[in-house]
Amino acid sequence: MPDTSGRMLPLRQDALLGIATIVVGYATISAADAAVKWALPEVGVAVAMIWRGVFGMLAIALLVRGTGLRPRRVWLLGVRSVLHCAVTVTFYVAWFNHFPLADSYAVNAVAPLIMTLLAIPLLGERVGWRRMTSTTVGFVGVLIMLQPGGDLWRWEAGLLLAGVCALALSRIWTRVLASSDTPQAIAFWLLFAHVPMGLLLLPAFPPAGPLLPSWDVAFALAFLGLANGCAHFLFARAFAIAPVSVLAPYEYTTLLWGGLLGFLIWAEVPSWMTLAGAALVIAAGLYNIHRARLQRAAERGAAGVPSVAPAGGA
């Protein structure tokens, strides 16, 4: 039962369960992203957001049977939800303009690096010179991907970078909200915000086709919403039970799903420079996680708390 007293809820630190949860979430949302990218040419950005919100809320309501949806930190939950709507717009605009799915995930790989920086002021984490250096190296990878004249030298890539910065902030806020709000509330109100925001954006992004899409597009949009509802519930749950630094690397699994789905549906193949830059970004992110774990182990040792090795070895 969720706490109804309004006090802060203790965070569990079940890393393995958190990892499994977020991996399933990223696989689910990758399939949803492929569905909306396929449907966008017929319905447009704003209509896709409305479908995502309506069916996403339905999915969460069915999953939790309407329990635990009451918001606690209303202001932070509302700001995070609106911010995530802005993230949705950046990705949908890019995909509407035929930006490849795998390439958008390559840009999205920057998010864990940004989360490393944001965790300093927002979560009070300490980042030493090694992690700062690796983060700088990671941003060199971004420059490689966005080299002038390359496949990603497009205005949509810049738009996505702005969206990824906002996405990293929303991930941090998910962790903060997890101490007071239930996973289902965090996910439900995020998707709820997509409906009024989509309606407000209709003049700027009018429907690209008929108001009632064809049955196959309607099916894709319904799947988009239902899958997003499930995925965001899983994300909120994962961040409630495991630290940001443990879960951040698994953002990279979307590169695998995006590459596979992009190739199967649109025959998209990322360029070698995109892959090289993304590999550098991922390597930097993984090193940051490694250093963060060493730092936590040292802090536990200094405090006299025994360190427990993760299951399956290092």
How would you write the pLDDT of the chain (314 residues) with one tens digit per residue?
344 344 445 444 577 888 889 999 999 999 999 999 999 999 999 999 999 999 999 999 988 887 889 999 999 999 999 999 999 999 999 999 999 999 999 999 888 888 888 888 887 777 777 888 888 888 898 888 888 777 888 999 999 999 999 999 998 888 788 888 888 898 899 999 999 999 999 999 998 777 778 899 999 999 999 998 899 888 878 877 887 667 777 878 888 899 999 999 999 998 898 999 899 988 988 888 777 777 767 766 766 655 443 333 32
Q: How many whole angstroms separate alpha carbon 171 and alpha carbon 107?
A: 16
Global pTM reads: 0.83
Q: How many whole angstroms separate alpha carbon 218 and alpha carbon 191?
A: 18
Picking from 150, 46, 29, the residue whose alpha carbon sits closest to that of residue 93 is: 46
Q: How many whole angstroms separate alpha carbon 31 and alpha carbon 79?
A: 27
Q: What is the pLDDT of residue 303?
A: 65
Query: Scanning the structure block, which residue is given the tokens 């990892």?
Result: 19
Q: How many whole angstroms separate alpha carbon 109 and alpha carbon 255?
A: 8
CA dihedral 290, 295, 299, 305 (to 10 degrees): 10
Whole-Å CA distances, 244 to 147, 175, 238, 305: 30, 7, 9, 21
Q: Which two tokens stand for residue 139?
A: 């941003």
Q: How many whole angstroms separate alpha carbon 175 and alpha carbon 169?
A: 10
Q: Are 168 and 114 in contact (CB under 8 A)?
A: yes
Q: How many whole angstroms separate alpha carbon 113 and alpha carbon 122?
A: 14
Determine the angle formed by the axes of helices 253-266 and 15-43, rounding to 10 degrees.
30
